[in-house]
Amino acid sequence: MQISEFIKAVHADKEMRLNVNKETGNVFVEWKGIKTVIEPEAIQAHTWDELEAYIHGEDTNPLRHMTRVCGYFSFVSSWNKSKLGELEDRHNGNYALPNES
């Protein structure tokens, strides 16, 4: 996929935000609090459907996901099972406490 096509596709999705590092050319896409770093080579080597799956967290290879769940940005790939579960709950909007009547 061409980088210009990728940028248009991201802008068309109202839930995504895009930033580009002018020095490295890396693209940062934020979706539901998750920042994904995408190298230009990865954009050119994949289709929009594949890249969108990476951004949505359905497949993390070869892209790197970052999020701010812990109070600072960190790579999700280094997280333990518990922290990944917390992130999944946030994706599902599972914030409520159990209703105890």
Higher pLDDT, 58 or 16: 16
Question: What are the tens digits of pLDDT across the range 36-45?
Answer: 888 787 888 8
pLDDT at 94 over 60: no
Would you kindly state where each structural domain of the chain is located, as residue ranges? 3-82
Among 10-24, 26-40, 55-69, top mean pLDDT goes to 10-24
Question: What are the tens digits of pLDDT across the range 3-20?
Answer: 889 999 999 999 999 988
The pTM of the whole model exceeds 0.75 = no
pLDDT at position 10: 94
Pairing of strands 64-67, 16-20: unpaired
Pairing of strands 16-20, 74-75: unpaired
pLDDT band at 61 (very low <50, low <70, confident <90, very high): low
Name residues whose C-beta falls within 8 Å of residue 2's C-beta, 6 or more positions apart in sequence: 43, 44
